[in-house]
Structure formats: structure tokens, C-alpha cells
Amino acid sequence: MTSLSESPAAPAPPAPSADVRLRLYRSMVEMRAFEKRAYDLFLQGLVKGTSHLGLGQEAVAAGFGVALRPEDYTFCTYRGHNHTLARGVPMAPVMAELMGRQLGLMAGKGGSMHLTSIPHRMMGSYAIVGAHLTIANGAAWSSKLRGAPEVTVCFFGDGTTNIGAFHEALNLAAVWQLPIVFVCENNRWMEYTPISSVTAVAHPAAGRAPAYGLDPILIDGNDADATFAAAASALERARAGGGPSLIEAETYRHGGHSRADPGKYRPDDEVAAWLARDPIPTYRARLVAAGVDEGALVRVEEAAQEAVDEATEQAMASPPPDLALVHRDVFSDGGATWRR
């Protein structure tokens, strides 16, 4: 990668254990299978509204998902299917949410862009660029005040680094020395515009880290070993009271920005180069080369496929949400009544 080679080479971290590697692979394979199905359902008109796939970016969510402890918090964006699954949220309610069914994770009230599962400490997917960085700080602040050994991880895209909330959030996290890890998934594109055309520095996150007194950390976001290592070290640092980290993970989305966008605005050779670096087959090859039994990998792949099939069935079988939900949960009494 040009951009990676431009930056000082970090020493390769030690490879994770075989068990961790298998978990990383399983996690990526599940995400991939899930999102391919979501795309099919979108084309069939069964996923209404919009959906933003993370196809190609799985290694980031997987690396963190495996490194996180159950008590840690995740905040992510509208492109959050992967991060949600990575926290162990079951597939069926996620699929059902995309389809606007009663079984949905939020019974259809949030939709694809707002996946949230508080029991899994998946604290929400946010659709206004930048806002959730400030909210994630609040969870980390709360952990600190409560003296709880929890860390908050907050994912966002390259384009997000140019909005005001990014700046406010990073500065506050640094000043308050919060236990938080900010993860910028630099997939080189905002919606249809390249990040390089609208950003004053080459590395939108790493290039800004010193403005918050932080070390620039640039990693290969398509390498699950690298994302896991970066996650483990940043989480440890945060848990030990070392304050925030800002990690820029270089990656690429295989498809378009959202819905049925074919992503045709991107140069063919750029797309081809990144497809060749698909995080899943490359990781599979690495595991096989390292002596992992291919049968085990095949079983992982088959299990993921079965899980997706089952989730799809369950979601399809679910009815549309109860219409009474329109008037529920505006307020904590369960209702929507603004008058008395």
C-alpha cells in the first residue's frame, strides 16, 4: 500500500493465538455471509429504506470484536452491521430490523442505520456523521467516574474527520484522559467523493492525532491480525488509565456507499487492487499456510451460511411491527403523550 509505506513501518506484532485467529476468521466470515444476504434481500425489495454494507471492511470490526471484553462499549455508524454482529448480537433480530419486522432488534423503529443492543453493550449506530464520537466520550467518562474497568470503542469513517464534532470529541477525550479508542476506518471514500479531495492532510485521522496530543497510529485495516493487535494494545492502554487512542485503519468498501450504489465513480484499478487484498481470502490463506486444518475453516464457513439462512427464515416469518409502536417509547412511561 502506497500510503502505508509512506508512514514509518511499525514492527510486526506477534501473531495472535490459533484460537483467536479462528475467532477472527469466523467473525469475518459471518459478517460477509450476513451482508451478502442483506444485499440480496435489498435487491428483492425486502430490505426497505437504505443499508450501508461493510463488505471488505470486516477485518476492522472483527479485530476489535474479538479483543473486546463483554463489559466494554461499542458505538458505531450507519455502516454498523459488522460491528453489531461482532458484539455477539444474534443475526435474526438484525436481519429482521433491516426488513422492518416485529422481530427486529428495535422492532423496526430504528432500521438499518440505528442498530442498538444495550444488553450486548452495542450502544448504538448513529447516522449523523460525527455525533457519536461525542456520545462515546460520555460512556467512557461514566466508566471513569464509576471506577469501572470498561473501555469504549468508537468506529467512524474517514469523512467524519472533517466535521466539527470529531474535533470536539478528540480534544475532550484527551483532556479528560478517557478510556476510549477511536477507530477511523479509512475506506478512501465518503459517499461518492474521495476523502483526499477534501482533506488537508494525507491521513485524515493519523495526521490529526498530534493535534490532540496523541500518537499517530496507522494500521492495515484489511489484516485481522493487525487490527486485533492494535485493538488489544489500545484497549489495554485505556484500561490501565493511559487515556484515549486514535487508530486509522486503512481499508476499502467493496461495494457502493449504500443501497444499490454500484460504486462506479471509483477507478477500476483502485477497486481491483483492493479486491485483491480482500481481508477474508487473504486471511484464510494465511491460516492455511500457518498449518490450520482447512476442514475447520470449511466448517466455519458452512456454519456461518447456515446461521444466515436461519436468521433470514426467522426474519421473513416475522410480521410487520405492531402499529401501536408508533406511539410508544417517546418517553419513559412507554408512551408518546406530551400533554396532560
Partner 1 sequence: MAEMTYRDAVAYGIAQEMARDPSVVFLGEDIGSAGGVFKATVGLQERFGKGRVVDTPISEQAILGAAMGAAMTGLRPIAEIMFSDFFAVCWDIVANEIAKARYMTNGQVALPLVIRSGNGGGARFGAQHSQSVENWAMAIPGLKVVAPSTPSDVVGLLAAAVRDPDPVLFFEQKSLYATKGDVPDGELVDELGKAAVVRHGPAATVVALAAMVPRALAAADELAREGIEVTVIDLRSLVPLDVTTVATSVAATGHLVTVEENPRLCGWGAEVASIVAEENLFDLDGPIVRVTTPHVPLPAADALEDAALPNVARIVEGVRRSLA
Ligand X SMILES: Cc1ncc(C[n+]2csc(CCOP(=O)(O)OP(=O)(O)O)c2C)c(N)n1
What residues line the site for ligand X (CB under 6 A)? 79, 127-129, 156-160, 163, 187, 189-191, 257
Q: By C-beta, is 133 or 287 nearer to ligand X?
A: 133
Q: By C-beta, is 10 or 163 nearer to its own copies?
A: 163
Nearest approach, Cβ of 266 to Mg ion (angstroms)?
Answer: 12
Site for its own copies in 213-242 (CB under 8 A): 213-214
Nearest approach, Cβ of 65 to ligand X (angstroms)?
Answer: 17
Q: Which of ligand X, Mg ion, its own copies, none sits in contact with 191, Cβ below 5 to 8 A by type?
A: ligand X
User: Which alpha helices (H) appear in 187-322, and where do they start and end?
Assistant: 224-239, 268-275, 279-289, 294-317
Distances (CA, A) of 160 to 61, 77, 132, 140, 171: 17, 10, 10, 20, 15
* Cβ neighbours of residue 132 closer than 8 Å, sequence gap 6 or more: 75, 76, 77, 124, 126, 154, 156
Q: Cell digits for 226?
A: 493487525
Q: How far apart are CA 216 and CA 203, in angstroms?
A: 9
Site for its own copies in 172-191 (CB under 8 A): 174-175
Q: Looking at beta carbons, which residue is closest to Mg ion? A: 157
Q: Cell digits for 64?
A: 476489535
Q: By C-beta, is 70 or 210 nearer to its own copies?
A: 210
Stretch that binds Mg ion, among 34-42, 151-159, 205-213, 315-323 (CB under 5 A): 151-159
Site for Mg ion in 180-239 (CB under 5 A): 187
Nearest approach, Cβ of 320 to ligand X (angstroms)?
Answer: 26
Q: By C-beta, is 61 or 173 nearer to its own copies?
A: 173
Q: How far apart are CA 333 and CA 249, in angstroms?
A: 42
Q: Does 245 bind its own copies (CB under 8 A)?
A: no
Q: How far apart are CA 219 and CA 227, in angstroms?
A: 7
Phi-psi region of 215 (alpha: psi -120 to 50; beta: other; left: phi over 0): beta
Site residues for Mg ion per CB under 5 A: 157-158, 187
